Amino acid sequence: MNAKLRLDNQLCFRFYTVSRLLTQAYTPLLSELGLTYPQYLVMMVLWEKDSQPVNDIAQRLYLETNTVTPLLKRMEAEGLVERLRDAADGRKVIVRLTAAGKELEARAASVPEWLAGALSPCRSLSPDKAPAIYAACDDIIATLK
C-alpha cells in the first residue's frame, strides 16, 4: 500500500475528526439554548456586530449564501433573528437579532468556558499554546480559500 494514502497520514482526516467531535461536544450545551452548531456560529457573528447583510454573514462563516439563507429562515421562524430588505438597496437582505436573540447571548456566555474545561486535559491545547494553533489554522484557511 502507498503510505501517502494511509488514513493515519492524512491531515485532513484529523481536521475532519476534530471538527466532528467538537461539534458533537457542543450539541448538549447548544440544545439547551435551542441552537444547532451552525445557528450558534450565526449568532456569534451577530453578537459581534448586529444588523449585517446575509452576504457578510456568509463570508464571515466561509459559506455560500445559499447555505446560510435556509438557516436564517429557520432562525427567523424560531424568533432569534429578523430578515429585512435594505432600504437603500432592495436586493440586500439585512439580518438583525430580535430581543430573544440578544437575550440568548448571556445564556450562551458559559459555552466557551465549558468547552475549555472539557479540553483542559488536552496537553496540546493549553492556553499558552492556543494562539499558535489559531495562527496555524488561520494560515491553512487563508491558503485554501
Give me the CATH number covering residue 87: 1.10.10.10
Residue 63 lies in a domain: yes
Is residue 119 a part of any domain in this protein? no
**84: Cβ–Cβ under 8 A, 6 or more apart, which residues?**
93, 94, 96
* Residue 83 included in any domain: yes
Helix 37-48, helix 65-77: angle, nearest 10: 90
Confidence of residue 128 (pLDDT cuts 50, 70, 90): confident
Q: Is residue 49 part of a domain?
A: yes
Q: pLDDT band for position 56 (50/70/90)?
A: very high
Q: What is the pTM of this model?
A: 0.90
Averaged over 97-126, what is the pLDDT? 92
Q: Are the beta carbons of 27 and 118 closer than 8 angstroms?
A: no
**What CA–CA distance (Å, rounded) separates 122 from 128?**
12
- Tens digits of residue pLDDT in 73-107: 999 999 999 999 988 888 899 999 999 999 999 99
Q: Provide the mean pLDDT of the chain.
A: 94
More confident residue, 56 or 122: 56
* Residue-number span of the structural domain to which 35 is assigned: 3-108
Angle between helices 110-118 and 99-108 (to 10 degrees): 30
Instruction: Report pLDDT for 129.
Output: 87
Residue that the C-alpha cell 458559559 belongs to:
110
- pLDDT, average across residues 42-63: 97
Residue 108 has pLDDT above 90, yes or no: yes
Q: Are 61 and 68 in contact (CB under 8 A)?
A: yes
Would 136 be classed as within a structural domain? Answer: no
53 domain-assigned: yes
How many domains is the chain built from?
1
User: Alpha-carbon distance 78 to 35, whole Å?
Assistant: 10
CA 133 to chain centre: 17
Query: Is the pLDDT assigned to residue 54 strictly greater than 90?
Result: yes
For residue 89, the model assigns a pLDDT of: 86
Does residue 9 lie in a domain region? yes
